[in-house]
Structures are given as C-alpha cells and as structure tokens.
Amino acid sequence: MIRIGIYGLGKISRRVIQGVLSSNNACLYAVCSSSIEKANIFKKEYQAEKAYDNYERMLEDRNLDLVYICTPNYLHTKHIQIALSYRKHVVCEKPMCVSTKELNDCFDYAKRQNCFLMEAHKTVFTPLNQKLFEMISNEEFGEIKSIDAQYATRLTEQISDWHFSRPGSGCMFDIGVYPICYANRMAKSSIFRVSRFQDEALIEYENGCVAHIATSWDVDMENTAHIYGTKGSVSCKNFWKNTEAAVNGSKITVVQESDFTGEIEHACTCIENGMIESPVMSRKASLEILKVIGV
C-alpha cells in the first residue's frame, strides 16, 4: 500500500481523498493545510493517520510515500520541487506546471531524485475511458478521423482570485485541460500542429486525426465528447467522469466507485513497479497538453 499525503485541502481534495479511499493499493496517510484546524477536521473525517500544518514537516515523515498536491496552480512547481527534495513521489493536480520550461525542470529533477512524478488527469484513467481507449486501440471504430470535446460552464459561483490573475489562470488551464487531455489520449498520436483561438483549439495529429476542443466560463455547452472513426463512433456527455457512453448508438456502462480511483491506482502501481514516469500520463503527455494551451 502506498501511503499518501494530501497537500492543500480545498474543494478538489475531498474528491481526491474519496479516490484514495476506494483504491486497492493506496491509503490516506496524512493531510496537510496551513490551518491545523482544517487538517484535523480532514484527519478525523477521513481517518488519516496524521494531520500537518507545515508542508516540510509532513515531508520529513519517513512513512509518507507519495504527496498528492492540491494547491493553487501557480504554486505547483514550487511544491513539486520541495516534495522531490525530500525524495517523495509526487502526483500533482492539473495543470501540473504553467510552462514547458517549468514542466521539464520538474521532470528532470524527479529523474535526478529517482522519484515518480505524474500530472493528475483522472479523465484518461476512468474505467469508461480506459475501455474506450482499448476499443480504439483494437480498431473497433476503424481509423479515428475526428474528435470533438468540450467542457464549458457559465460561471455562476465565485471562484478564487488565482483562477483569474496568476500564472496558470484562465479557463483553458482550468476546465479546458479535460477536453485537451482526452483528445490527445484518444487520438493516439503526437500533435502535428495546433491553432488556438481564444478558448478553443483545433489540433491536427501526426496520424491525420483532427480534434476540436472548446472551453468557456461565459457559456454553457453540451459538454459532450464525440469520437468519429471510419467504422463507428462514440458519444459521451461529461466525458471526464461518466460511466456510460453511446457506442455506435448503443449504450455501454462501466462500474466506477470514484472518478479519481483509476488515476490513483495507476500512479501507485507505477511506483510499486519502480517506475518514475507513467507510461500513460508521461512527461510527453503533459507537454502535449501545454502545446495546445500554448505555453
């Protein structure tokens, strides 16, 4: 069992913790926030072994294997590097870094420290999307020619200031990374070229597939992903967490406890096998996402 410490106890951390609690090779070991009161509430609520109000104190804990970073985007690089300096494995919420340079620096450092590092993109690890990827790999839809994925929602609730004003802010870095990551995965190819106009992008892959991704905080969209192949197609609403999709017009369903479990189990399996990089959510995969965002 990989012992996980969560750093940053905002909204997303509760969902990550559910994923940890549902996984078969990870346990929630510690929680850490600048507020010890908050950390203690989480410790009690989720029965973690430790609560910390200081990041480095948590990292000094020899029982901790992996830090899952849930802090604001602009702090990710700093927090990854501190964790790596303590030789802890790291999974970091998306966007892991806000520039190609930062991203390469982090992966280079992880390699030197012989630590596992992965950007947390649950979308590619949900049971449904793993199944769809397998079907695509088996050419069940023929050649994939076109992908369209969007995640847009009109902002009705307050979100933090850093979503608007810090490096790694803006819609594309927030809900936009879901369709990007999904399209890049399902296309099964490297990016050949990309055009980004505002919060939409058109991507052409080296294998000839073309993807369109759209995101917005100004409008509500259908938030459906479409994959079009020469022999069939997939349609899936809320593709980043869904357990059912229309495959050639017929519904398929999968079992899923938490949409984060697949990602966490994958990271832990990699670590158990002595890997320092995921073969799925690799450095290259993270770089390809930044290529679409254009940073």
Give the interface with a copy of itself as residue ranges (CB under 8 A): 143, 145-146, 148, 150, 152, 154, 193, 195, 197-204, 208, 210, 212, 214, 216, 218-222, 226, 228-230, 233, 235
Q: Which is nearer to a copy of itself, 111 or 196 (CB)?
A: 196
In angstroms, give the least distance from the CB of 78 to a copy of itself.
34
In angstroms, give the least distance from the CB of 76 to a copy of itself.
28
Q: How far is CA 241 from the centre of its chain?
A: 12
The CA-to-CA distance between both ends of the chain, in Å, stands at 36
In angstroms, give the least distance from the CB of 251 to a copy of itself.
16
In angstroms, give the least distance from the CB of 188 to a copy of itself.
16
Q: Which is nearer to a copy of itself, 65 or 174 (CB)?
A: 174
Backbone φ and ψ for 142, nearest 5 degrees, come out as 70, -145
Q: Which is nearer to a copy of itself, 105 or 204 (CB)?
A: 204
In angstroms, give the least distance from the CB of 197 to a copy of itself.
4
Measured over the CA atoms of residue 270, residue 258, residue 252 and residue 232, the dihedral's sign is: negative
In angstroms, give the least distance from the CB of 52 to a copy of itself.
43
d(CA 253, CA 244): 4
Q: Which is nearer to a copy of itself, 28 or 211 (CB)?
A: 211
Q: Which is nearer to a copy of itself, 9 or 236 (CB)?
A: 236
Q: Which residues of 245-282 are buried (b: 16+ CB within 10 A; e: fewer)?
A: bebeeeebeeebebbbbbbbbbbbbbbeeeebbbebbe
d(CA 243, CA 247): 13
In angstroms, give the least distance from the CB of 147 to a copy of itself.
10
Q: Is 141 helix (H, G, I), strand (E, B) or coil?
A: coil
In angstroms, give the least distance from the CB of 213 to a copy of itself.
9
Contacts of residue 209, defined as CB under 8 A and 6 or more positions apart, other chains included, come to 144, 145, 146, 147, 187, 188, 189
Residues in the chain, total: 295
Q: Which is nearer to a copy of itself, 78 or 231 (CB)?
A: 231
Contact at 8 Å (CB) between 196 and 204? Answer: no
Q: Which is nearer to a copy of itself, 65 or 199 (CB)?
A: 199
Backbone φ and ψ for 278, nearest 5 degrees, come out as -75, 140
Structure tokens at 242: 């869904």
Contact at 8 Å (CB) between 6 and 17? Answer: yes
Q: Which is nearer to a copy of itself, 10 or 208 (CB)?
A: 208
Q: Is 115 helix (H, G, I), strand (E, B) or coil?
A: coil
